[in-house]
Amino acid sequence: MEAAITKKDCIITAYRDHCIFLGRGGTLLESFAELMGRKAGCSRGKGGSMHFYKKDACFFGGHGIVGAQVPLGCGLAFAQKYRKEDHVTFAMYGDGAANQGQLFEALNMAALWDLPAILVCENNHYGMGTAEWRAAKSPAYYKRGDYVPGLKVDGMDAFAVKQACKFAKEHALKNGPIILEMDTYRYHGHSMSDPGSTYRTRDEISGVRQERDPIERIRKLILAHDIATEKELKDIEKQARKEVDEAIAQAKESPMPDESELFTNVYRKGFGVESFGTDRKELRASLP
């Protein structure tokens, strides 16, 4: 996706957004520190996975409310059109969120106003532990727009994703919203309490990993076209692991936020209440 767009294009996601944050230019330290609730985190340790954020790269974060990021994304696209910018917004959601009513309401408005919004359904086929066919009468999510065109994309093929995003951006700038259904997969459980194997077979998981793994696909292409050797790729992996280990160690050394941070970033200055650095009594007194 990043290879097809610019940092002026907006991205807004649900709470599986760690890699998107890195793609937008965020650092490993900011990522791990945020997960650990440390000051060095991208949201000063106050949000965790659900609130990764990088405004200077037009990444408007992770959101914990299922599907709620889609109308916000359409709002970002509205702002882009209002300002006559030559940019688009990618609003990303999962197959579990695809049945949310607010998604259809936002899409309707985006279509009425020809907003440069690209709705990306990351279809990994399981919403928590529920298979898509059990939750949706029509799991062809790219067709859900009715009055909005859609494309189904092999989300496990980096080149297919790049071309689809390039096409979608060009389309959205000229014609308004479009839906991209990225056909992908998750190997692990939905959360730490989910083994991920009670609602599907281990053969299914291993089969997808062997046949469609996106990193393995790229690795095979690189070797087949003599772009790099096996040793060079292993060296890259070793370096990546080293960088991750170093970032984790640095994140652990970062201090926890001060207790006063509980009352910061609650309200925006100029919108009724200014809560930065105030205590609870002053905050209540300032409320209208």
Looking from the CA of 4 toward its CB, the CA atoms found within 13 Å total: 18
Tell me what pLDDT residue 275 has: 44
pLDDT at 282 over 80: no
Q: What are the residue ranges of helices labelled H in the chain?
A: 18-23, 28-35, 69-82, 101-112, 132-135, 158-175, 202-212, 214-224, 230-253, 280-286
Calculate mean pLDDT across residues 35-45. 95
- Determine the residue type at 128: M
B/e letters for 136-149, b = 16+ CB within 10 Å, e = fewer, are: beebebbebbeebe
Tell me what pLDDT residue 142 has: 95
CB 258 within 8 A of CB 44: no
Q: What is the pTM of this model?
A: 0.89
> Who has greater pLDDT, 89 or 144?
89
Tell me what pLDDT residue 214 has: 96
pLDDT at 273 over 60: no
Tell me what pLDDT residue 82 has: 96
Tell me what pLDDT residue 256 has: 96
Tell me what pLDDT residue 286 has: 56
> Cα dist. 41→34, 151, 195, 247 in Å?
4, 36, 28, 11
Tens of pLDDT, residues 22-31: 999 999 999 9
Calculate mean pLDDT across residues 81-100. 96
Give the domain 2-253 fold: Rossmann fold (3.40.50)
85 in helix, strand or coil?
A: coil
Instruction: State the residue for tokens 């992770």.
Output: 62
> Who has greater pLDDT, 278 or 68?
68
CB 149 within 8 A of CB 171: yes
pLDDT at 276 over 50: no
Tell me what pLDDT residue 280 has: 56
Tens of pLDDT, residues 131-155: 999 999 989 999 988 899 999 999 9
Calculate mean pLDDT across residues 153-167. 98
**Domain edges within the chain:** 2-253, 259-288
Calculate mean pLDDT across residues 165-192. 96
pLDDT at 4 over 60: yes
Order of strands, sheet of 117-123, starting from the edge strand that comes earlier in the sequence:
10-12, 89-94, 117-123, 178-183, 150-154
Tens of pLDDT, residues 239-271: 999 999 999 999 999 999 999 888 888 887 765
Lowest mean pLDDT among 36-40, 49-53, 214-218: 49-53
Task: Name 119's bridge partners.
Answer: 91, 179
Taking all residues of the chain, what is their mean pLDDT, rounded to a whole number?
A: 92
> Cα dist. 277→39, 184, 247, 266, 267 in Å?
16, 44, 30, 11, 12
Calculate mean pLDDT across residues 224-237. 97
Confidence of residue 49 (pLDDT cuts 50, 70, 90): confident
% the chain with pLDDT above 90: 81
What are the tokens at 272? 């009724």
Task: Name 131's bridge partners.
Answer: 126
Confidence of residue 284 (pLDDT cuts 50, 70, 90): low
